[in-house]
Structures are given as C-alpha cells and as structure tokens.
A = this chain, B = another copy of it.
C-alpha cells in the first residue's frame, strides 16, 4: 500500500511498467508514460493525474468492473460457440443429407460436426473454465477435475470425428492424410491427446514430481492456446475444401449459393469464437487468483497444487 502511494505521487521519472503484451484488454486503469507534445512537465502532470485518478477508484468497484467485463466476454463466447454448433449441424443435416455410420457420405457428415463441437467449442469452453470468477472462492480440485473431464469429452468427440472420416475414406478407397488440412488437423488432435495425458499425469495424479510440474505448467498453458488456433486453422481449411468439393455444376461455390453462405458464415463464427476465447485466456487480470488462502485449505486424495 505504501509502495502504491509512492507510485501515485512520485516524480515523473519514476516509471512504472505499462500493461504488458500478455495483459490483453486490461480492465483496471493503464499507466503509459506518454509525454504530451513538446512539454515534459505537462506529460508528467498528465501521468500523475492518471495515477491519482486510478488510486481514487475503490478496489471493489475496479474488481466489479473486471468481473462484469469478463462475464460479458464469456457470454459472447458461449453465444458464438452455440452458433458454431447450430451452424455446423444445420449445414450437415439440411444441406448434406443428415447422418449415418455406414461408410457413406452421411458418415463423413459426422466429421465436421464432431470436430467443430469437440476440438473447437468444447475445447475452448474447457480452457476458459478456470477464468470464471464463480469458481474462485471454492477449492480448485473439483474444477480441475471438471476441466479434465470436459477436455476428455472434447478429445473423445474429436477422435470419433477422425474415425468417421477415416472409415469413410477406407470404404471409398480414398487415401488418408494426404491434404494439408488433414496434416494440420491430425497434428492438432495428436497435440491435444499428448496435452491431456501429460496434464493428467502432472497435475492430477498424486506423487507427480515437482520438477515435472514446474516444467509442464507453462508449456501446458501455452500449448493449450496453440492447439486452439491450430484446430481453427484446420477447420477453416476443411470447410473451404468441402465447399469446393460439393458446390459445382449449376450451383458453383463462386456464385455463393445459400450453402456457401452458411459454410463461410460457420468459418467466420469459428474465428470469432477463437478470438474471444484467446482474448479471455490471454488477459492476466482474468486469471484465477491462486494466492487466496482458501485455495490451500482443502487437500483431498488428489493433492491440490497451485496451478
């Protein structure tokens, strides 16, 4: 508190670190050392005014603003995720003839539905789980188990989605894994599976050694975001490829028939969902405050760790 007051009333040369690249959209006041035109003293005064203004904002108000902003973004991500699932289901049921598991084109239709639902929407929601302020006042372990369960469900859906296309290809004697779309998609799923197994071993199993957790924690977090944008790149290339395959003859893709609009809109929705999720994940102010004492109060069978 004393340090904060020193910053607030200190001289202009006592620079403070501005919001970092990792902050995303900071919710609290931002301090940037921006001298006004030609006047050092004016710039210094302006900075001091900004600092003074931020210290007059009660911490409760600032925290409430942060929570409200989070829930607005979270609600947006939920709506976009739901819109993605509705769009991909509608496309494959209404325009592509529905679903079956018989090696036909109807089996292929499970592929986009399961990949978008599992590898993008469910995955994104699982990744955002720890950011929900509702979970912060409680012990972390149940949320960690829920995170692992949601991710497992996402992984299972993705693997079933891959089985659908492999089975369809094998029935039609089409080679597997030749396109760039398939290379990126299989890499995303393989990384996801590795991430889940290593995450489970390091952060949920008891007796996982501390050096392993230390090594894996930042890699787990960074790889989590990377898998999401790899999955989205795979989805975009897959939708693009599928629309070129199916829209020919009297209704070519280039004429933008209704199905093309729906497919393209699905791609845009997926990108928008990814942008919002990655923005939420990258904002350090929306991270679970692990330093709270209640987080350490309960240590059940699977030991708590400050992940």
Contacts and interface: CB of A to CB of B under 8 A. Distances in A.
Contacts of A221: 20-21, 23
A207 to B, nearest CB: 4
A281 interface: yes
A236 B233 contact: yes
A267 B180 contact: yes
A212 B226 CA distance: 31
Contacts of A233: 229, 232-233, 236-237, 271
A22 B22 contact: yes
A104 interface: no
Contacts of A225: 21, 278, 282
Interface in A1-37: 12-13, 15-26, 30, 32-37
Contact of A304 (B17, B35, B264, B293): B35
A278 B16 contact: no
A200 B82 CA distance: 37
Contacts of A234: 236
Contacts of A275: 226
Interface centre among A22, A40, A244, A264 (most CB of B within 10 A): A22
Contacts of A37: 206-207, 303
A219 interface: yes
Contacts of A306: 15, 18, 32-34
8 contacts: A13-B293, A21-B281, A21-B284, A25-B222, A32-B307, A50-B214, A230-B271, A240-B240
Interface of A: 12-13, 15-26, 30, 32-38, 40, 43, 46, 50, 174-175, 178-181, 183-184, 187, 206-208, 210, 213-214, 217-219, 221-222, 225-226, 229-230, 232-234, 236-237, 239-241, 243-244, 253-256, 260, 263-264, 267-268, 271, 275, 278-279, 281-282, 284, 287, 290-291, 293, 295-296, 299, 303-307
